[in-house]
Chain A
Amino acid sequence: MEISTNDYRVWTEGSAIHYEGTMRLSGTDAYAPILEIMHAVLEAKPEVITLDLTGLEFLNSSGINLLAKFTIEIRKQPDVGVRVLGSKSIPWQSKSLRNLQRLHPALELTIS
């Protein structure tokens, strides 16, 4: 599964979801197709879902809401673990990704 535009690309590889580029969509409706891809991965109930954000340079607050919403969906399924990969060289990730861990303390966050 893949969504690709001039600004960003989101694709899945097994239970890993990769994000790349700049995502500044206008709100929940605009982010819906991306959330659909994420839900499809969750529906397969893998042991661990990996959100790989290491290539995502920019995400606006509506996009952060999307990640938070999905984290809460995973939290409701105790058998599914979640791992979030971020990059130290992308400032928004060090500033905002910790919130996901506050929402779901079992979430494994690696910013390297």
Chain B
Amino acid sequence: MVEDFGQAVVSNGGNATRFCLTLRAEPLELSWHHCGVTSDFLGEYFSRSCGRGIDAVDARHSISYMINEILENAVKFRHGGDIEIRSSLEEDLFEIQIVNCVDPETATKFQTHLAGLLEREPGELLLERIEENALNPESSGSGLGLLTLMSDYGAKMGWSFASERVSEGVELTTYASLRLA
């Protein structure tokens, strides 16, 4: 079964510049540090393919920021296995899909979270979540990454949960796209 939330589609076509990367989980365990290194590398790569009229410094940062936030979630909630990154740039549209496996319980919790998140205006929800986090000393601050991307970067986000594609757990694909300025 496949369940989609938000904008779980890609629109870049055959003329797009593409870069795909699989982060192999074994034998070296993926660490937090890999998120930053990978996202900086892809930000640098795509900023060099940007056409005229796109601010390369802003593109480099925005792409790196976006990949880092999604990859941090993938590493944090990963239920074993590899992490696949498919990214493309066509004219001013950057798109990314990050695929990883999560356990069924995490998938259900995340789906509830997403249903609530997609009903609201991201900027308002971001401030509300910050106030809640400040009141709760136990809060991990999680949930702000996606909201920051949607609110501050104008990113379009989507999520697709496929429970039959992997033998154990749920395959989660996170979609994100960004109009580069």
Is B127 within 8 A of A95, CB to CB? no
Tell me whether A28 and B32 are in contact (CB under 8 A): no
Partner among B64, B131, B133, B152 whose Cβ is within 8 Å of the Cβ of A95: B152
Known: A28-B139, A62-B144, A64-B148. A99 touches B69 (CB 8 A): no
CA distance A68 to B68 in the complex (A): 20
Chain A 42-76 interface 0/1 with B at a Cβ cutoff of 8 Å (1 = within): 00000000000000001011101110110011000
The answer to whether residues A22 and B36 also contact, given A61-B148, A99-B130 and a CB cut-off of 8 A, is yes
- Most A CB atoms within 10 A — which of B32, B64, B130? B130
Question: For residue A100, which residue of chain B has the nearest CB?
Answer: B130
Contacts of A17-32 to chain B: CB distance below 8 A: 22, 24, 26-29
Interface bracket on B? 20 to 34
- Which 7 A-B pairs rank lowest in CB-CB distance, beginning with the nearest? A65-B141, A61-B145, A91-B61, A95-B152, A72-B134, A61-B144, A68-B130
Residue positions of B touching A, CB distance < 8 A:
32, 35-36, 57-58, 61-62, 64-65, 68-69, 72, 76, 126-127, 130-131, 133-134, 139-142, 144-145, 148, 151-153
Known contacts A60-B69, A68-B130, A73-B134; 7 further A-B pairs (Cβ under 8 A): A24-B32, A60-B72, A61-B141, A62-B141, A65-B141, A89-B57, A99-B152
